Structure 1
Amino acid sequence: MSDRAVIIIGFAVLLAAVLGALMVARLRRASVASLADTVAYAMSYRAVRIVAVLGWAWLGWHFLAR
């Protein structure tokens, strides 16, 4: 298996985990926070906002600058 295939499978697994967590959050409202609530809570910290901006800048540089 090539490195590219492993990376694609890894991202597919991450996407499936996120979608599964979203489904659980929708079905069991009281026990698991939704993605929107989690992001809103995380963005209340300045360090998380800085890391998010740097992450978006890195992604933009690598995917849009070529």
Structure 2
Amino acid sequence: MKVLAAVSLIEMILQLIGARKAIRDGIPYDAPIGRGKPEDVARDMWGMGSGLSAPWHTLAAHAAGTALLI
């Protein structure tokens, strides 16, 4: 379980780094249902995420799951 918790924690940290970079550099999401605008990346993180990270609610669920593993 410790290995799974460690891998999960590393992946979550990388997602947070990706979210920060996407917001800073304006990298929008690009999905089959549509494409975001660079100026809306911070707002889109609440629903669709960015080109480098999952949305905030998914990251929160990931953090909760990781905390349960530790």
Using the size of structure 1 for normalisation, the TM-score is 0.44
* Structure with more helix by fraction: 1
Using the size of structure 2 for normalisation, the TM-score is 0.41
Higher relative contact order (CA 8 A, sep 6+): 2
Look at both structures and tell me which one has the larger radius of gyration over its CA atoms.
1
* Structure with more strand by fraction: 2
